[in-house]
Amino acid sequence: MKIFITGGAGFIGSWLTESLIRSGHQVTAMDDLSTGSLNNLKNVINAPGYTFIQDDILTSPVLEKEIRNADCTIHLAAAVGVELVVKDPVRTIMTNVQGTERVLKAASDLSKRCIIASTSEVYGKSTKDTFSESDDLLIGPSTHSRWSYACSKLLDEFMLMAYHRNKDLPGTVVRFFNTVGPRQTGRYGMVIPRFVAAAMKGEDLRVYGTGEQTRCFCHVFDTVRALEKLIPDTSAAGNIYNIGSTRSITILELAKLIIERTNSSSKIAMIPYSEAYEKGFEDMLHRAPDCSKILQSHGWKAEISLEQIIDDVAEYYRNNGF
Ligand code: UDP
């Protein structure tokens, strides 16, 4: 197949590209390299069947052409990371809403299969034990920048559903839950690359809030496997799928586990949210996916352990530096 990936030099996009190229597909990737990196493409840049376009999805003159040329578009280009979102809410909203609008309009006009990346952030402040795709969503007030990320992604989802209903767009939404692994940068706030790097350098692991908040971390290789099942499946059109691990861990336990697995002498420092993000910052206490839908429909579940994730991230830093 011919696959077009926006955000193709990013953390998820680059691993997806490698896997697709390995399976004999042709991949064209577009990325403005704002948060993605050419380093992530080292293994594919000269591969037969691979093309890289450095461009911004908001303004690129070839976006529509690339969507036309592909059998499926995977739209991963987005503003990512809670810290980046809190610092730059205008860019978050513009990239996430206008960029997706362009992709969806073109895919719809051309009746092309597309998959767009959404996020577990859309479940917002909901307090259920696990979140399923048809659950109600509870977003915080617009005075708190954090929620602009959830709302912008949610608008993307509504747009896709509207195009699907009115124009038969063969589009699918995936909601990623804390995807982690090698190549993810800690620059925009993500906890695992930050903790592993700090542990390896002997620096403090900075746990925000009480550390009692829980998350489920999914290895990017598992995430890529889920995407590869969805790409050729047009019966997934009009559907939303949670993609994540179901093993839950508190952030404090995570910090201890990372110190143990990296044989580190680092200490844990407890940091108030107001210092870590912004005044009035609201964190989600618990966030776990119900992944039974994609298990039943596509036989997918996350399989790689958290211990393996930590080891893979540590090995990546050992081989590539921080
Ligand atoms: N976190 C932390 N220290 C850090 C970065 C994050 O304690 O250096 C916490 C953060 O407040 C959240 C959890 O770790 O409760 C996961 O954060 P991340 O940004 O990785 O993902 P989120 O689930 O917030 O999207």
Q: How far apart, in whole angstroms, are the C-alpha atoms of residue 44 and residue 16?
A: 11
The best mutation among 147, 208, 210 to test binding of ligand 1, ranked by most ligand atoms within 8 Å of the C-beta, falls on 208
Residue 101 lies in a domain: yes
Residue with the nearest Cα to atom 21 of ligand 1? 190
Domain span at 105 = 2-177+219-244
Mean pLDDT of all residues in the chain? 95
Phi/psi for 147 (5° steps) reads: -75, -15
pLDDT band of residue 199 (cuts 50, 70, 90) is very high
pLDDT attached to residue 81: 74
Q: Which of 123, 149, 163, 188 is catalytic?
A: 149
State pLDDT tens for residues 94-151: 999 999 999 999 999 999 999 999 999 999 999 898 999 999 999 999 988 889 999 9
Of all atoms in ligand 1, which is nearest to the CA of residue 284?
15
Q: What is the pTM of this model?
A: 0.97
State pLDDT tens for residues 207-254: 999 999 999 999 999 999 999 999 999 999 999 999 999 999 999 999
Answer for the pair 28, 49: CB distance below 8 angstroms, yes or no: no
Average pLDDT over residues 178-182: 97
Q: In angstroms, what is the span from residue 272 Cα to ligand 1's centroid? A: 12
Q: How far apart, in whole angstroms, are the C-alpha atoms of residue 236 and residue 134?
A: 15
Average pLDDT over residues 181-205: 95
Percentage of the chain beyond pLDDT 90 is 86
Q: In angstroms, what is the span from residue 195 Cα to ligand 1's centroid? A: 10
Q: How many structural domains compose the chain?
A: 1
Per-residue tokens: 120 = 């577990």
Residue 230 lies in a domain: yes
Residue 210 lies in a domain: no
Q: Spell out where the chain has E strands.
A: 2-6, 26-31, 50-54, 72-75, 113-119, 171-176, 179-180, 205-208, 214-216, 218-219, 240-243, 248-250, 268-271
With a cut of 90, say whether residue 282 has pLDDT above it.
Answer: no
Residue 31 lies in a domain: yes
- Beta-carbon contacts of residue 108 (< 8 Å; ≥ 6 apart): 163, 167, 169, 171
Say which amino acid occupies 39. N
Residue matched to tokens 């990320």: 149
Answer for the pair 111, 169: CB distance below 8 angstroms, yes or no: yes
Residue 25 lies in a domain: yes
Residue with the nearest Cα to atom 24 of ligand 1? 82
Residue with the nearest Cα to atom 19 of ligand 1? 190
Residue 37 lies in a domain: yes
Is residue 149 among the annotated active site residues?
yes
State pLDDT tens for residues 253-262: 999 999 999 9
Q: How far apart, in whole angstroms, are the C-alpha atoms of residue 171 and residue 177?
A: 20
Domain CATH number, residue 144:
3.40.50.720
Ligand 1 binding pocket, CB closer than 6 Å: 82, 178, 189-191, 194, 206-208, 213, 215, 251, 283
pLDDT attached to residue 75: 98
pLDDT attached to residue 77: 96
With a cut of 80, say whether residue 280 has pLDDT above it.
Answer: no
